[in-house]
Structure 1
Amino acid sequence: MLGLLLLAQSVAVPAVSPPRAHPAVAPDSLTLVVADAIEQTDPQPLCAAPDCTSMFLGRFDNARVLAGAGLPQAFTARLEMGSPYISRYRLALIVEQRPGNEAIVHDVAGFNSRTGIACFDHMDTGRLGWTPTGAGITTERGIICVTE
């Protein structure tokens, strides 16, 4: 019994996201998109700790741009994760397109199965200095929400 409790505790430990400087982001390089997360591969650890997060290469499909710079229907972008998703998900993403470099996902939000709405955490999006507008996008008290 004690072994099961210890195992459960080790599984429930969250990944550590190391503090790092976030370079300024040009709002015209950002895209608010809804897409299917297909797979996440090629993890690049952000620190040496065993529970550190990594920048995974995410592959996305069935993309629909809601605001910002255009993206193809299928694209790849790096996103910070503790481990890959266990299945495919429809997600709302804020993606920075960087000419000559891989695209970076700055924030991701899942859709509530009851309401069909995905909301981004203002603590993550506030530093971007970007308030997208368009059909299906609402912003209240700095919180960006998407309805697909």
Structure 2
Amino acid sequence: MHWIAGLLALQTLSVPAYSPPNALPAPVAENLSLVIATTVSETDPQPLCDRPNCTSLFLGRYDQAVTLAGPAVAPAFAARVEMGSPWVRPYRLALVVEHRPGGEPLVRAMTGFSTRTGRACFEARQVDVPGWTPEGEGISRSGGELCVTETP
């Protein structure tokens, strides 16, 4: 009987976060930046739906930011980011940040760096924005993926 209670408890802990489709308007290509930054904090969650496992838009704070393509971001900036829960420690990430006129910037996609290759790669679906083709040093495309390498 105790194993059943344990199994039920485990199931409640492993429910994946739910991201409601179409919760956010489509991104605007000319407002997108490709950025590398370090996470600082994620606060002020704003749930995107009423489900208990729904994702929220957190206010993410970032520093040591480097803009690789698109409109420049400050070395330290804040942007809304959709997450299920905050990070547990700082991470160096590649981000697609949308500058929204009259609103807070929004992280449209994020990915971490591979310790093996030193690259951070976005899946094609994460960066499939008509008219957006970021180019520059450290940016490459392969098989639909968009990858970045941080140069020292």
TM-score relative to the length of structure 1: 0.92
* Contact 1:31/1:94, CA 8 A, preserved across alignment: yes
1:11 aligns with 2:47: no
Residue type at the aligned position of 1:66: L
Shift of 1:8: 2.6
Q: Does the C-alpha gap of structure 1 residues 36 and 128 become closer, same or farther in structure 2, counting only changes over 3 Å?
A: farther
1:52 to 51, 54, 64: 54
Q: Tell me the SS of whatever aligns to 1:126.
A: coil
Pairs aligned (count): 148
Whole-Å separation in 1 of the counterparts to 2:49 and 2:91: 27
Stretches of structure 2 that go unaligned for 5 or more consecutive residues are: none
* Contact 1:92/1:109, CA 8 A, preserved across alignment: yes
* Contact 1:58/1:79, CA 8 A, preserved across alignment: yes
1:41 aligns with 2:43: yes
Stretches of structure 1 that go unaligned for 5 or more consecutive residues are: none
Name the counterpart of 1:80.
82
Whole-Å separation in 2 of the counterparts to 1:18 and 1:25: 16
Whole-Å separation in 2 of the counterparts to 1:116 and 1:123: 22
Name the counterpart of 1:96.
98
TM-score relative to the length of structure 2: 0.90
* Contact 2:140/2:147, CA 8 A, preserved across alignment: yes
Query: What's the Cα RMSD here?
Result: 1.5
Residues 80-122 of structure 1, C-alpha deviation per residue, up to 9 Å, x if partnerless?
1011111100000000011221000100011111211111121
* Contact 2:35/2:95, CA 8 A, preserved across alignment: yes
Percent identity of the aligned residues? 52
